């Protein structure tokens, strides 16, 4: 970290998007140090909002959890710590080719105040109501802009990228899953959560997408998943053309795709997909499906998601042992039911730490996103950083590169929240299923 970005630099950064915890700005200036980069700025909750917690450096128990990562001991700065966790935990697990942990850059308060003013009107209202830039940050994370092709100037390269938030891609098998929640073994978490989200007004229609299709390894099911994501993108699917959003929700979710949205997207694709029959969207969705299938990145992600092999119904007991608290999960059970979890409570501290660490790593892998960036293949392009996919119907070949984003490790004190949310999702879904209220109808719009 050298120079500090000041108020005079603010105009070079534009709003790119945001999630629950961070705002992302893209660089539009001419400084070689920042060209092709985005900036990830931590948010802080607005008073009265419960949604985003302000982040403290690691707690005593978290230091125990991540004690194998030597580099953490040297740092007490929270921004540096979160980068180090991505670099030393998630990056080796997912594969270094897919992850840029980024670097910390100093910023002044005036810089943060100025950028916030510049883009406030572009942020979704529900995000503005809950959080704003954390003005106490003195550094931010600078990382590659994965929506642009690496090592290429934007003028020279036409580039289209797709962002997918795939969520959990497997059905749990853990023997610690209770009889009451056994439905988890046959219905995906995403599908059950959709029902609760609809009821709570967080979404206006059920998604057609099922992560089990995307992670299936079958070309046909991957194609179905990509079409379903296009039909109901919510916060799971976005497309960028040369870094500008052309499909999906900026900073949040998006409504189901209607005729007008589909037409606007089809028109935007014309500069990058050459389809004689005029069906560029079809070709694009094929391109995305083929690259997902060919890259193998989701197979790797699934392996990491499956580090959660005990389910939260197992891991929660280890959490209470690590934090030396009375086990709230066992408190609700009869003596006979408790027996099932006795082996967890008699495990060594090392074993409990391993269980919870694996659970938290898997939680990150279930919540991260991937960006696949494409450029039409041209003679002379280096192929060392990318793979290729051919679209027979347009006779075009594309270079593509896959990257994972949003790999922050979840805080240890979220374990209770995970346990309660899981119960809530499953019990609501069960109630709806019992009342025959689980809706599954497709939106009116059919993908071309």
Stretch (H or E) spanning 359: helix 349-367
Q: Is 233 in the site for ligand 5MY (CB under 6 A)?
A: no
Site residues (vs Zn ion, CB under 5 A):
317, 327, 329-330, 341
Contact of residue 147 among Zn ion, ligand ATP, ligand 5MY, none (CB under 5-8 Å per partner type)? ligand ATP
Longest alpha-carbon distance in the chain: 70
Cβ–Cβ under 8 Å, residues 240 and 260? no
Binders in 402-421 for ligand 5MY, by CB under 6 A: 410, 414, 421
Q: Which two tokens stand for residue 152?
A: 């290429």
CA distance 119 to 194: 30
Q: Is 146 in the site for ligand ATP (CB under 6 A)?
A: yes
Q: Is 143 in the site for ligand ATP (CB under 6 A)?
A: yes
Cβ–Cβ under 8 Å, residues 169 and 218? no
Cα angle 193, 194, 197; round to 5: 85
Contact of residue 163 among ligand ATP, Zn ion, ligand 5MY, none (CB under 5-8 Å per partner type)? ligand ATP
Stretch (H or E) spanning 376: strand 369-376
Least Å distance, CB 18 to ligand ATP, is 5
Contact of residue 18 among Zn ion, ligand ATP, ligand 5MY, none (CB under 5-8 Å per partner type)? ligand ATP
Q: Is 370 in the site for ligand ATP (CB under 6 A)?
A: no
Distance of CA 382 to the CA centre of its chain: 29
Q: Is 163 in the site for ligand ATP (CB under 6 A)?
A: yes
Q: Which of 254, 405, 425, 426 binds ligand ATP (CB under 6 A)?
A: 405
Q: Please give the residue whose beta carbon sits closest to ligand ATP in the complex.
A: 19
Q: Which of 145, 367, 399, 422 binds ligand 5MY (CB under 6 A)?
A: 367
The DSSP code for 90 is I
Helices (H), 89-202: 91-94, 109-119, 125-130, 189-199
CA distance 421 to 363: 13
Distance of CA 362 to the CA centre of its chain: 12
Least Å distance, CB 81 to ligand ATP, is 15
Contact of residue 127 among ligand 5MY, Zn ion, ligand ATP, none (CB under 5-8 Å per partner type)? none
71 by Cβ neighbours in 10 Å (0-12 / 13-18 / 19+) ranks as middle
Q: Is 158 in the site for ligand 5MY (CB under 6 A)?
A: no
Q: Which is closer to ligand ATP, CB of 166 or CB of 172? A: 166
Q: Is 198 in the site for ligand 5MY (CB under 6 A)?
A: no
Q: Which is closer to ligand ATP, CB of 195 or CB of 369? A: 369
**Bridge partner list, 241:** 160, 244
Contact of residue 222 among ligand ATP, ligand 5MY, Zn ion, none (CB under 5-8 Å per partner type)? none
Q: Is 369 in the site for ligand ATP (CB under 6 A)?
A: yes
Q: Which is closer to Zn ion, CB of 227 or CB of 317? A: 317
**Bridge partner list, 391:** 396
The DSSP code for 410 is P
Contact of residue 410 among ligand 5MY, Zn ion, ligand ATP, none (CB under 5-8 Å per partner type)? ligand 5MY
CA distance 377 to 396: 8
Cα angle 21, 26, 27; round to 5: 140
Map residues 263-302 to x or -, x wherever contact with ligand ATP holds by CB under 6 A. Answer: ----------------------------------------
Q: Is 19 in the site for ligand 5MY (CB under 6 A)?
A: yes
Q: Is 9 in the site for ligand 5MY (CB under 6 A)?
A: no
CA-to-CA separations, 239 to 124, 154, 359, 397, 416, in angstroms, rounded: 18, 16, 31, 19, 35
What are the start-end ranges of the E strands in 96-190?
A: 103-107, 131-133, 139-144, 160-164
Specify the residue for token string 């060594």.
348
Q: Is 202 in the site for ligand ATP (CB under 6 A)?
A: no
Least Å distance, CB 19 to ligand 5MY, is 5
Part of the chain binding ligand ATP (CB under 6 A), chosen from 16-24, 61-69, 208-216, 346-354: 16-24
CA-to-CA separations, 343 to 40, 65, 152, 176, 418, in angstroms, rounded: 42, 20, 55, 11, 21
Chain contacts with ligand ATP (rule: CB under 6 A): 16-22, 24, 38, 40, 143-147, 163, 238, 367, 369, 371, 405-406, 408
What is the contact surface with ligand 5MY in residues (CB under 6 A)?
A: 19-21, 235, 363, 367, 410, 414, 421
């Amino acid at each position: 970290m050298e120079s500090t970005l000041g108020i005079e630099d603010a105009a070079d950064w534009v709003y790119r998007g945001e999630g629950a915890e961070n705002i992302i700005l893209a660089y539009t200036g001419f400084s070689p140090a920042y060209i092709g980069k985005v900036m990830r700025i931590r948010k802080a909750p607005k008073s009265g909002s419960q949604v985003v917690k302000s982040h403290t450096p690691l707690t005593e128990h978290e230091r125990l959890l991540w004690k194998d990562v030597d580099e953490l001991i040297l740092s007490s700065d929270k921004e540096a710590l979160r980068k180090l966790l991505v670099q030393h935990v998630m990056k080796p697990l997912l594969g270094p080719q897919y992850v840029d942990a980024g670097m910390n850059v100093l910023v002044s308060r005036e810089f943060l105040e100025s950028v916030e003013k510049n883009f406030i009107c572009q942020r979704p209202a529900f995000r503005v109501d809950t959080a704003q830039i954390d003005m106490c940050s003195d550094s931010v994370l600078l990382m590659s802009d994965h929506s642009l092709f690496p090592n290429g100037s934007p003028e020279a390269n036409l580039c289209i990228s797709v962002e997918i938030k795939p969520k959990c891609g497997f059905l749990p098998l853990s023997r610690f899953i209770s009889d009451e929640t056994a439905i988890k073994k046959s219905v995906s978490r995403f599908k059950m959560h959709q029902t609760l989200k609809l009821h709570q007004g967080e979404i206006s229609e059920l998604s057609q997408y099922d992560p089990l299709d995307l992670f299936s390894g079958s070309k046909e099911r991957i194609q179905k998943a990509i079409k379903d994501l296009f039909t109901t993108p919510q916060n799971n699917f976005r497309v960028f053309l040369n870094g500008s959003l052309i499909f999906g929700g900026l900073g949040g979710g998006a409504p189901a795709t209607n005729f007008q949205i589909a037409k606007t997207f089809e028109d935007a694709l014309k500069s990058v997909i050459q389809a004689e029959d005029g069906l560029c969207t079809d070709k694009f969705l094929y391109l995305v499906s083929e690259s997902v299938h060919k890259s193998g990145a989701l197979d790797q992600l699934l392996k990491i998601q499956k580090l959660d092999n005990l389910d939260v119904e197992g891991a929660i007991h280890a959490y209470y042992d690590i934090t030396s608290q009375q086990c709230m999960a066992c408190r609700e059970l009869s003596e006979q039911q408790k027996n099932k979890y006795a082996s967890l409570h008699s495990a060594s501290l090392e074993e409990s730490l391993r269980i919870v660490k694996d659970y938290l790593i898997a939680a990150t892998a279930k919540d991260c996103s991937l960006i696949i960036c494409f450029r039409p293949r041209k003679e002379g392009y280096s192929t060392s950083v990318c793979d290729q996919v051919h679209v027979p119907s347009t006779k075009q070949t594309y270079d593509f590169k896959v990257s994972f984003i949003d790999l922050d490790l979840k805080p240890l004190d979220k374990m209770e929240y995970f346990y309660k949310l899981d119960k809530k999702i499953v019990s609501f879904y069960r109630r709806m299923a019992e009342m025959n209220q689980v809706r599954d109808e497709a939106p009116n719009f059919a993908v071309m």
